[in-house]
């Protein structure tokens, strides 16, 4: 009788671990028109510990559970985070937003970053797309002091971070997804990434980023979050970061220091000077793409 009970318990346990967490995971392509108006907030001193802490709070997440959501967000964030080996961050608390994804100005009682995403249900690609964007704002030391005229660049870099993260996830999930039985979703993730890189999401044929910016600068400097335009810049810069992922560190110096003015040239020059010498090359490459002047490096102290 005792042996029989042990057999029954063993079978029950095997069935439990074989079941997908939260039910069968689903990755479905969702509308890409995500109006992610992020409002940068003040930075704070990081805490010790390199492990990224993401807490997904109970909310109206539809048929997705918080554990699965957290694993997906961790997967998206890790594609960026692994390029910041010396960085330390406070925990990130994630809630569901009802209007648009956003990283709040205010922080939690212990300095936590407060992020809202609007994805719901098991739309893992949409969760990843939104969270990678917001996570990039955090990595960029998002600041309410950044002149509105130049916030479009941060928005574009964060859009680029979303595309970058999803493209990397499509590769990672082939062998190391959050759960072994999610490997088959890698192809769906890649399809989602491809949908963010259609012809309309890239520079018109024969046009340089510098020429395109001159034609669109007035609009961007007034309204930073113009997702269609942000995505064109994002796809233009994507290749630089895919070829040089070790230079993602430069993103962490975007909002450091104080530019001489709110001109785009001064904004880029300040970023270049604030970035450590070992990572300045990628900022210089971006400056050259806009056909602006690369400033001399700061004098050694």
Cα Rg, the chain, nearest whole Å: 21
Residue 299 within a domain: no
- pLDDT tens string 104-150: 989 999 999 999 999 999 999 999 999 999 999 999 999 878 889 99
Residue 295 within a domain: no
Residue 163 within a domain: yes
Residue 19 within a domain: no
Q: How far apart are CA 222 and CA 227, in angstroms?
A: 14
Q: What is the mean pLDDT of residues 208-232?
A: 97
Residue 12 within a domain: no
pLDDT of 159 > 80? The answer is yes
Q: Which residue range is the domain that position 108 belongs to?
A: 24-289
Q: What's 127's domain CATH number?
A: 1.10.390
Residue 16 within a domain: no
Residue 294 within a domain: no
Residue 65 within a domain: yes
pLDDT of 88 > 50? The answer is yes
Q: Is beta strand 102-103 parallel, antiparallel or unpaired with respect to 54-56? A: unpaired
Count the neighbouring beta carbons within 10 Å of the beta carbon of residue 148.
11
Q: Is beta strand 113-117 parallel, antiparallel or unpaired with respect to 92-96? A: parallel
Cβ within 8 Å of residue 92, ≥6 positions away: 52, 53, 54, 55, 112, 113, 115, 135, 138
Q: What is the pLDDT of residue 143?
A: 80
- pLDDT tens string 177-210: 999 999 999 999 999 999 999 999 999 999 999 9
pTM above 0.85, yes or no: no
Contact 99/118 with Cβ under 8 angstroms? yes
- What is the total count of domains within the chain? 1
**Phi, psi for 117 (deg, rounded to 5):** -125, 155
């Amino acid at each position: 009788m005792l042996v029989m009970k042990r057999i029954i318990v063993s079978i029950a346990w095997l069935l439990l671990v074989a079941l997908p967490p939260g039910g069968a995971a689903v990755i479905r392509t969702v509308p890409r028109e995500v109006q992610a108006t992020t409002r940068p907030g003040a930075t704070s001193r990081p805490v010790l510990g390199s492990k990224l802490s993401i807490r997904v709070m109970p909310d109206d997440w539809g048929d997705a559970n918080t554990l699965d959501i957290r694993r997906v967000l961790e997967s998206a964030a890790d594609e960026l985070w692994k390029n910041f080996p010396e960085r330390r961050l406070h925990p990130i608390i994630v809630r569901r937003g009802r209007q648009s994804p956003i990283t709040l100005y205010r922080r939690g009682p212990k300095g936590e970053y407060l992020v809202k995403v609007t994805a719901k249900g098991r739309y893992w690609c949409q969760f990843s797309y939104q969270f990678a964007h917001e996570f990039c704002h955090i990595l960029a030391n998002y600041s309410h002091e950044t002149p509105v005229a130049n916030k479009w660049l941060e928005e574009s870099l964060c859009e680029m971070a979303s595309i970058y993260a999803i493209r990397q996830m499509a590769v990672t999930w082939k062998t190391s997804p959050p759960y072994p039985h999610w490997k088959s979703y890698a192809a769906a993730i890649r399809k989602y990434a491809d949908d963010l890189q259609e012809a309309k999401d890239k520079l018109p044929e024969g046009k340089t980023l510098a020429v395109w910016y001159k034609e669109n600068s007035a609009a961007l400097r007034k309204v930073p979050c113009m997702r269609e335009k942000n995505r064109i810049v994002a796809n233009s810069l994507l290749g630089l970061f895919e070829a040089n992922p070790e230079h993602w560190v430069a993103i962490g110096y975007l909002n450091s220091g104080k530019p001489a003015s709110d001109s785009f040239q001064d904004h880029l020059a300040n970023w270049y000077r604030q970035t450590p010498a070992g990572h300045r090359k990628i900022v210089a490459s971006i400056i050259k793409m806009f056909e602006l002047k690369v400033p001399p490096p700061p004098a050694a102290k």
